[in-house]
Amino acid sequence: MAAKVELLIPQGIVRVPQKSPSSRLGGLAGKVIGLVNNGKPNADVFLSRLANLMQKKYRLSGILLKAKPRPSVPAEFIEELAMECQAVVNAVGD
């Protein structure tokens, strides 16, 4: 009696929907910019300096700073940033 063998091929196939990139902003003056601190050391220092420079150079309407508690934790505030900001900078420290 012949035994039946099932062969599994662990090949992942990822289907990513095609998306067009967002259109570029004409400028930053009067825009709200989101800054995301990913929780790594020194990301806060970088973002603080970046916020000051951007505010002086581009006359932003506002800056929304959000921080993740740790790099490995998903950002739970992404929807808020998408609704309130015209652009977002995600900082990586170390």
Give residue limits of the domains in the chain: 32-91
Structure tokens at 76: 């739970």
Which neighbouring-strand residues pair with 67?
37
First to last CA, the chain: 63
pTM for the model stands at: 0.73
Cβ atoms < 10 Å from Cβ of 79:
9
pLDDT in tens, 27-82: 999 999 999 998 888 888 999 999 999 999 999 999 999 998 888 888 899 999 99
